[in-house]
């Protein structure tokens, strides 16, 4: 083996050892902090005081897609980011949204209803699914057993961003109505802005109203952004976690773009106002999540990408054979397992897409906005790609450099690496 090849080989062996050691450390660390843990008990506690992020059983359903992390320097690209939210410090979650986020209460900020089934009704405690919703699951993530995180949900089934934009939905709840209920309670709540995060997920019912009311999705997205700004100005809110609606490859993309630009602008215009007034936000794309499931649902552990029951009026007697293995439970409403891994997906945005403001970069390697780590096996990281690329380039460059050396391109033969003649 030639000296240069020996050096390359030694570098390879060393890098594999170092990375194997690092990977083992990462796995040990993930035993505590990785949101993709599946436990058999509903809310057991970890050794460091944080609550396990899992539902009662995972039934073989697991998350198989990573977020597409990005930056917030341009209006032209919608990116999944966490621009400043320290989720572990959040003590109160105020939630707004529709049936995906509704927790069985009357949308008044009261506690979620118990998970029980009444008669032949398939709804778990009034939810549009057979268990806890994604927001309930997310509340557990990195919560302290000494100080459990509190959920105040104002979400209601059928809600749109603003029913004034959608005349056919004037009978339904909307974001302004939910804000009115929140503002009515806010004086008594006495929430600390630094430890309160406002979470929203709208746009699904907006999208389904297009056929009747026309395409007003961009207008609805701008309205959502303006209402978020109202929360900042009227309630002193500084932490926002918002979910981009699915169907993004259709006209719903206009909604997400307007929403994203509003969040970005609010963040940029307040970041120099001091820690207590600067807006931090995180943005997760439900479209990426659901698109991955629909395309590769068996990889996630599902046996069907469809629903288990026809709709909300169905009887529990009509339930399919494997309700835990279907993507949806009642009509277009996710099953409890889909809610669980949606919460895991949002948690991964909070964890993996943290932006380092001074460099406008983020914590995972990207290529045109897509996380390469999301396409690698679990035992590989983007760091391995750097090492592999270095070795390949070194190997490819070795012989051409030696040929040039023999021809005197560098003023004479190179003998430092090898004393042999070529």
Q: Which residue has the higher pLDDT, 70 or 147?
A: 70
Give the range among 25-29, 206-210, 392-396 with minimum mean pLDDT: 25-29
The predicted-structure confidence for 388-406, as pLDDT tens digits, reads as follows: 666 666 666 656 555 655 5
What SS3 state is found at 195? helix
- Which pLDDT band holds residue 123 (cuts at 50, 70, 90)? confident
Report yes or no: 56 and 335 within 8 Å, Cβ to Cβ.
no
The pLDDT, as a whole number, for residue 355 is 85
Percentage of the chain lying above the pLDDT 70 cut: 68
Give the range among 11-15, 109-113, 317-321, 335-339 with minimum mean pLDDT: 11-15
Burial 68-91 (b: 16+ CB within 10 A, else e): bbbbbeeeeebbbbbbbbebeebb
The pLDDT, as a whole number, for residue 290 is 95
Question: Residue 116 corresponds to which tokens in the numbers above?
Answer: 């029980």
Report yes or no: 160 and 205 within 8 Å, Cβ to Cβ.
yes
Question: Is the pLDDT reported for residue 358 higher than 70?
Answer: no
State mean pLDDT over 231-248: 93
Report yes or no: 336 and 130 within 8 Å, Cβ to Cβ.
yes
pTM, full prediction? 0.74
Taking alpha carbons only, the member of 286, 227, 285, 219 closest to residue 258 is 219
State mean pLDDT over 134-163: 92
> What are residue 333's DSSP bridge partners?
330
The pLDDT, as a whole number, for residue 63 is 95
**Residue 298 burial (C-beta neighbours within 10 Å; 0-12, 13-18, 19+):** exposed
Report yes or no: 223 and 213 within 8 Å, Cβ to Cβ.
no
If you ran DSSP here, which 8-state letter would residue 358 be given? T
Question: Is the pLDDT reported for residue 178 higher than 90?
Answer: yes
Q: At 371, phi and psi to the nearest 5?
A: -75, 120
**Residue 189 burial (C-beta neighbours within 10 Å; 0-12, 13-18, 19+):** middle
State mean pLDDT over 327-347: 93
User: Interior CA angle at 350 toward 346 and 353, to 5°?
Assistant: 110
Question: Is the pLDDT reported for residue 76 higher than 50?
Answer: yes
- Which pLDDT band holds residue 417 (cuts at 50, 70, 90)? very low
Domains of the chain: 1-33+384-422 (no CATH), 40-375 (3.40.50.1110)
The pLDDT, as a whole number, for residue 357 is 54
């Amino acid at each position: 083996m030639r000296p240069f090849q020996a050096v390359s080989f030694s570098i390879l062996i060393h890098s594999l050892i170092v990375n194997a050691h690092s990977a083992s450390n990462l796995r040990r660390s993930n035993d505590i902090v990785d949101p993709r843990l599946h436990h058999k008990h509903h809310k057991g506690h970890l050794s460091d005081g944080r609550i396990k992020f899992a539902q009662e059983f995972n039934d073989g359903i697991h998350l198989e897609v990573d977020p597409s992390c990005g930056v917030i320097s341009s209006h032209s690209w919608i990116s999944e980011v966490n621009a400043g939210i320290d989720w572990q410090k959040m003590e109160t979650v105020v939630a707004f949204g529709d049936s995906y986020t509704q927790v069985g209460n009357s949308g008044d900020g009261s506690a979620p209803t118990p998970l029980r089934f009444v008669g032949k009704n398939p709804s778990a405690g009034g939810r549009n699914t057979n268990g806890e919703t994604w927001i309930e699951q997310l509340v557990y993530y990195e919560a302290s057993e000494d100080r459990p995180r509190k959920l105040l949900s104002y979400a209601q089934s059928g809600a749109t961003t603003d029913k004034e934009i959608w005349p056919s939905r004037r009978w339904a709840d909307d974001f302004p109505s939910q804000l009115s209920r929140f503002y009515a309670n806010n004086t008594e709540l006495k929430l600390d802005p630094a430890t309160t995060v406002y979470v929203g997920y709208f746009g699904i019912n907006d999208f389904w109203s297009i056929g009747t009311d026309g395409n007003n999705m961009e207008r609805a997205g701008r309205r959502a952004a303006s209402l978020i700004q109202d929360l900042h100005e009227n309630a002193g809110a500084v932490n926002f976690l918002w979910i981009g609606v699915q169907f993004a490859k259709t006209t719903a993309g206009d909604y997400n773009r307007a929403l994203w630009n509003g969040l970005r602008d609010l963040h940029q215009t307040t970041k120099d106002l001091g820690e207590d007034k600067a807006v931090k936000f995180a943005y997760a794309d439900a479209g990426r999540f659901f698109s991955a499931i629909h395309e590769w649902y068996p990889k996630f552990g599902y046996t069907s990408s469809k629903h288990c029951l026809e709709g909300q009026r169905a009887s529990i007697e009509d339930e399919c054979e494997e309700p835990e293995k279907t993507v949806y439970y009642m009509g277009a409403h996710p099953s409890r397992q889909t809610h669980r891994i949606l919460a895991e997906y949002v948690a991964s945005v909070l964890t993996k897409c943290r932006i380092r403001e001074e460099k406008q970069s983020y914590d995972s390697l990207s290529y045109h906005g897509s996380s390469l780590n999301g396409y690698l096996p679990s035992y590989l990281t983007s760091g391995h790609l750097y090492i592999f690329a270095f070795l390949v380039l070194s190997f490819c460059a070795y012989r051409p450099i030696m040929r040039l050396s023999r021809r005197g391109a560098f003023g004479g033969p190179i003998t430092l690496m090898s004393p042999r003649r070529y």
